[in-house]
Chains A and B, each alone.
Chain A
Amino acid sequence: MMKMDKQPASPASWMRYASPATFYPVAGRLQPWFAALAAVLTAVGLWIGFFVAPTDATQGEGYRIIFVHVPASWMSMFIYCVMAFWAAIGLAFNTRLSSMMASALAPTGAMFALLSLVTGSLWGKPMWGTWWVWDARLTSELILFFLYLGFLALQAAIEDPKRADRAGAVLALVGVVNVPIIYFSVKWWNTLHQGASVSMTKSPSMAQTMLWGMLLMALAFWMYAIAVALSRLRNIILERERHADWVRQVLE
């Protein structure tokens, strides 16, 4: 159904990288840098979070889990949007690499959603006195985790990779339309959670060092997500293109 003759005769130079064969070595060169940045930023972020940031007046030392929890939930939501973006590009322009990128991002996003659920419940035990509260943000994070699982399960169940890519893309797009609706409906359903920790409109209600620790951790998770997605992407490329000559040369 897709028109294949849409590509211009001489594509712009950056579009070269849409070819898996060209992108494979590029991803290989970039990946260690992102991995190193992730390691350094995590070390600095955790150091600030655990040793430099002051003890919270009301929550004591237990609050320090937010240095992992908040960036993890940010990333889980952000990665879903990025995944849907690449899936949509793959669906619209029939570029294989974009769809592979979407598949490479999904497990990382699911991992961050799970991490945010686990840290949230660890934080809830000392603060709320229970492991699980049906609070708006925990619940919508749980549903986001289910959406990731659905995406992964659908792609795993379909054998033909091309169909898996495109079915996954439709699901990711339906999901991305639904994520805000689910978020607001769950929020309406129950608002027990404290107000947003970092607000764009109000001046932040937390110490400067706490904010820095959290932003550094968010950046670290970002780098980690890119590094992991790139190396997973390389594996997917090798698996899908295993019949191509260049893969045989790379593997020799």
Chain B
Amino acid sequence: MNTILVALRRDLLLAARRRSEVVTALFFFVVVVSLFPLGIGPEPAMLRRVGPGVLWVAALLATLLGLPRLFASDHADGTLEQMALSPRPFALLVAGKIAAHWLLCGLPLVLLAPLLGLQFDLTAPELQVLMLALLLGTPVLSLIGAIGAALTLGVRGGGTLLALLVLPLYVPTLIFGAGAVEATSAGLGSTAQLSILGALLAVAVFFAPWATTAALRIAIE
């Protein structure tokens, strides 16, 4: 646990000294979401219908934006190799870095989403479910994305490749995340979708740091 906190604290500290990167991803989220009403028209009924999906897709893309940086700078200055060689378990250090990525890229999206949901005329219960779904779903996005980031570390055209690798794997999270909000608007209750998101999170927490570590060892070998 201590090992995770060490890595987490270090990445948060580094991010605090380069705030613009975090803020850029957030603005990207806001801009993408705000573009949709301009593209499809301002009818409230239509916006209410597409709102959850748009917010989720934008969250997917915003998470993707921060992923290439997750390991790149540590790889460039050799820190990553030192982490792999250190007596502390590498997988836990990696888990700490992923947690930091979520705190920097995922959590702000969760907090910002209700505000943007208002633009799409979502009601208060829908906004609550949206936040809860994002709270469960965005860590899954960070965890799966970390595997992709590790696989494409130092590869030509890594950023585009990362999107190609990771986006198909985001499909279940997207379906259940947006589905939870849609079920609420249909008056069906969202327990089923939220439970499945929780299950996805549990599986991802268990497997993803391990797979990321394997991919990182391949990359720095």
Contact = CB atoms under 8 A, between A and B. Distances in A.
B217 A150 contact: no
Contacts of A182: 168-169, 171-172
Interface residues of B, number: 29
A146 B165 CA distance: 8
A166 B156 CA distance: 17
A29 B107 CA distance: 58
Interface stretch (A32-40, A153-161, A194-202): A153-161
A170 B214 contact: yes
B12 to A, nearest CB: 27
Given A149-B164, A174-B147, A167 B215 contact: yes
Main secondary structure of the interface of A (DSSP, over half): helix
Nearest to A185: B172
A117 B173 CA distance: 24
B175 A158 contact: no
Contacts of B219: 163, 167
A143 B211 contact: no
A82 interface: no
B169 A178 contact: yes
B221 A163 contact: yes
Given A182-B171, A185-B176, A189-B179, A170 B165 contact: no
A188 interface: yes
B161 A170 contact: no
Contacts of A185: 171-172, 175-176, 196
Given A188-B175, A189-B175, A146 B214 contact: no
Contacts of B196: 185
Nearest to A143: B168
B175 to A, nearest CB: 5
A147 interface: yes
Given A157-B155, A163-B221, A170-B147, A150 B215 contact: no
A173 B147 CA distance: 11
A174 B203 CA distance: 12
A211 interface: no
A26 interface: no
A1 B221 contact: yes
A228 interface: no
A233 to B, nearest CB: 22
A171 B172 contact: no
A181 B168 CA distance: 12
Interface in B142-188: 144, 147, 151-152, 155-158, 161, 164-165, 167-169, 171-172, 175-176, 179
Interface of A: 1, 143, 146-147, 149-150, 153-154, 157-158, 163, 166-167, 170-171, 173-175, 177-178, 181-182, 185-186, 188-189
22 contacts: A143-B171, A146-B164, A146-B167, A149-B164, A150-B161, A150-B168, A157-B156, A157-B157, A163-B219, A166-B218, A170-B147, A170-B218, A171-B151, A174-B144, A174-B147, A175-B169, A177-B207, A182-B169, A185-B176, A185-B196, A188-B179, A189-B179
CB-based closest 3 A-B pairs? A185-B172, A146-B168, A150-B165
